[in-house]
């Protein structure tokens, strides 16, 4: 058996060990300042994401459900077991707001559609209006 590059391997291992043993040379004050800066940046990022989400939801269609509450357009995500099952067309149903975007949600659409056994549930709120004819007929029949 021929071993090639054994010295290169041991040199790399020595560099990894030396890096792991290296000490943080910052002062405690500098470490605290860095931690506070990272926390402030993280908070600002979370606030920006929340504002973007609220702006998106303000643009997305919202439907008054017949039994009270509100609904949004959403599609079933499917199981996507093989990777070739995805994007075979989507019908946008009207689903209660609390069921949109929660993976494995088992809520029922206005037309009665529910996620199957192997489904990942309802997808996130969509910006497009619902196009399920049964959902739209039920919504129009309820006078909403």
Q: Are residues 68 and 43 in the same domain?
A: no
Q: Are residues 143 and 108 in the same domain?
A: yes
Quickly state the pLDDT bin for 86 (edges 50, 70, 90).
low
Cβ(72)–Cβ(62) below 8 Å: yes
Helix, coil or strand: residue 111: coil
Domain of residue 52, residue span: 30-59
Q: Are residues 110 and 55 in the same domain?
A: no
Cβ(65)–Cβ(88) below 8 Å: no
pLDDT at position 140:
86
Q: Are residues 71 and 125 in the same domain?
A: yes
The vertex-61 CA angle with 104 and 98, nearest 5°, equals 30
Q: Are residues 122 and 111 in the same domain?
A: yes
Model confidence pLDDT, tens digit, residues 1-15: 444 556 777 788 888
Q: Are residues 125 and 105 in the same domain?
A: yes
Separation in Å, CA 54 to CA 29, 58, 60, 70: 38, 6, 10, 16
Q: Are residues 77 and 136 in the same domain?
A: yes
Model confidence pLDDT, tens digit, residues 104-129: 567 888 888 888 777 777 888 888 99
Model confidence pLDDT, tens digit, residues 14-53: 888 777 667 667 788 998 999 999 999 999 999 999 999 8
**Strand arrangement of the beta sheet that strand 70-74 belongs to:** 62-64, 70-74, 93-96
Look at residue 80 and tell me whether its pLDDT is greater than 80.
Answer: no
| Burial (CB count <10 Å: 0-12, 13-18, 19+), residue 91 | middle
């Amino acid at each position: 058996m021929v071993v090639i590059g054994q010295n290169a391997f041991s040199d790399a291992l020595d560099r990894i060990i030396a890096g792991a043993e290296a000490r943080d040379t910052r002062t405690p004050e500098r470490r605290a300042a860095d931690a506070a800066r990272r926390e402030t940046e993280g908070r600002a990022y979370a606030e920006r994401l929340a504002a973007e989400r609220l702006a998106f939801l303000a643009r997305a269609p919202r439907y008054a459900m017949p039994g009270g509450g509100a609904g949004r357009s959403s599609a079933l995500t499917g199981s996507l077991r093989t990777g070739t099952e995805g994007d075979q067309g989507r019908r946008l149903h009207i689903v209660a707001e609390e069921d949109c975007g929660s993976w494995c949600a088992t809520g029922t659409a206005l037309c009665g559609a529910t996620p199957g056994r192997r489904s990942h549930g309802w997808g996130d709120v969509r910006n497009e209006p619902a196009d399920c004819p049964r959902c739209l007929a039920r919504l129009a029949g309820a006078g909403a």
